[in-house]
Amino acid sequence: MEGAVEPFKARRTYLVLRDRIANGAIAAGSRLPGEPDLAAEHSVSRVTIRRALDQLAQEGLVERRPGVGTFVLGPGLIAPTVVDFSDVFTHLKEMGRRTEVRLLAFGYVVPPAAIAEALGLAPGDRSQRAVRVRQMAGAPFSYLTTHVPERVGLTYSEAEMATLPLLSLLERSGVKVARARQSIGATLAGPEAAQALQLEIGAPLLSLTRLVEDEEGRPVEHLHALYRPDRFAFEMQLQRTGADGARRWSPLPPQAAAHTEENAAPRKAKNRKAST
């Protein structure tokens, strides 16, 4: 029974230590207590502590020095990728330029019923299915599964899918991308996603489903994306709108949001200068 519970204890211990490192409770450069002391503090075995520390080391949060100890490197060596949820298409192209992609699968399949229905396909119609991992500085942060109607997928090759953003390939094929519907939730990593994202099976992930449509309202892409929450985040800038008594939060238009960020940069620099 203990063996079945131990992985969950290791996960819990890892999360506790990771949070302490992230919020500065354990300072960068400091040496963690030895495995026996950590095991006693968290009421787990040394094997469990070792597993939690190995996970922290794998993520670059600590450095394990045999015979010396475990030292904290900092809250994270990899800055998370952040995208504006209200201006997704602009950020898709920019992300394609700033990140690398690995193509794991490419082929033509009869998609699951739910995806076929979303794409407006007839029974038996095929889609072009691709599975990709996007990474920055060699660190994977997203696991992407896309389905595109076969008539569109035939306009690009596997090699192009491995090197070019799908949005660019769709537009090159003559598709006039106009809008998209997307939803965000949370899920747990299955075996394939866990391996691709360098996580344990069952690790928490952000989940996004997006259906892209052309100017005539025809679906041209179904995306299911899984993101590591420690390496990826969505943001949306909001403003108060409406008359008194009916005020509400509304998304800030992309141009206004960019202008706000530009104005904020000098203020941040000035504040940093004043504090030094």
Residues with Cβ within 8 Å of 235's Cβ and at least 6 positions away in sequence, in order, are 82, 83, 84, 85
Low-confidence ranges of the chain (pLDDT < 70): 1-6, 74-98, 254-276
State residue 47's pLDDT score. 92
Q: Under DSSP, is residue 151 helix (H, G, I), strand (E, B) or coil?
A: helix
State residue 233's pLDDT score. 80
Beta strands (DSSP E) in 171-247 are: 177-188, 204-214, 219-227, 232-235, 238-241
Say what the pTM is: 0.70
pLDDT per position as a tens digit, 55-64: 888 878 899 9
- Please tell me the distance from the alpha carbon of residue 244 to that of residue 108, in angstroms, as a whole number: 55
State residue 97's pLDDT score. 61
